[in-house]
Structure 1
């Protein structure tokens, strides 16, 4: 398992979900307010990583090819939401690790950790998802859970 090591700033968990994109925007606003760096944390597994474009059908991509595809996808998400020249310094932390462990690792050095919440509306929407719940319970820094637009 890879660890995320940062020294201060705002960390945000990002994947390709709408809730994490909203968390990215909120985290960037908070980093700007605090005049600090934004650490974009993306944990991945072979099951969750985007398929590398250069890998022909019927072949299994290498771990390095998956890593490069996740880096490119994450950079695309950041650029599309924050622009090519964000208002704050942005550092990407792409790790082959379960999401809760990567985010909790980042929380050890962050001033604030931001995560999205995949609400489902009604009573179910009041409950946190499994990743957000683990982070809220075990993070070493304050956590901001960003609710989806309802």
Structure 2
């Protein structure tokens, strides 16, 4: 976050249901605090074979034939479109890294708040907190909100 005039909120976003909950929570925080969102989407190889899109259309499904970077860009573009449609001041970046937590933490250096989902695409179903969320909580330079989906 480069401007301190607005409350800076970094959102870790991978397109998972939990990151969608994080985006919703971050949009609410931005409304309450007059803040600006900065979405961080991290990609590495290999790509997941399938992402359901937030728009729910079969046409929006992305398969492994697409590059991981292209998948991440598409997932983030949808998230930015939704955030802006809801009136949020939002920017984003797609980062290549083998460590999603490190990429989120780098983006959060000047942030006032970080919002992440409790789990992402790679998590084990029985865990209540994923490894990326845990690392962000442990090392963030600012407060962290962890979003869960209903029923999780």
Which category of TM-score, normalised to the shorter sequence, fits these structures?
A: 0.7 to 0.9
Tell me the equivalent position of 2:95.
95
Q: TM-score, normalised by structure 2?
A: 0.73
**Alpha carbons 2:11, 2:116 under 8 Å: kept:** yes
Unaligned runs of 5+ in 1: 1-5, 52-59
Task: Give the superposed CA RMSD.
Answer: 2.7
Please list, as runs of the form range in 1=range in 2, the aligned pairs for 1:104-143 lying within 5 A after superposition: 104-118=105-119, 124-125=126-127, 127-143=128-144
How many residue pairs get aligned? The number is: 130
Tell me whether 1:14 sits opposite 2:13 in the alignment: yes
**Alpha carbons 1:50, 1:66 under 8 Å: kept:** no
Unaligned runs of 5+ in 2: 51-64
Q: Deviations over 1:115-141 (max 9, x none)?
A: 0013978xx45x421111111111011
Alignment partner of 1:43: what SS? strand
Please list, as runs of the form range in 1=range in 2, the aligned pairs for 1:22-37 lying within 5 A after superposition: 22-37=21-36
Deviation at 1:30, TM superposition (A): 0.5
Counterpart-to-counterpart distance in 2, 1:41 and 1:50: 20
**Alpha carbons 1:115, 1:143 under 8 Å: kept:** yes
**Alpha carbons 2:72, 2:94 under 8 Å: kept:** yes
Q: TM-score, normalised by structure 1?
A: 0.74
* Superposed structure 1 runs of 4+ greater than 4 Å apart: none
Which protein is richer in strand relative to its size?
A: 2
Alignment partner of 1:16: what SS? coil
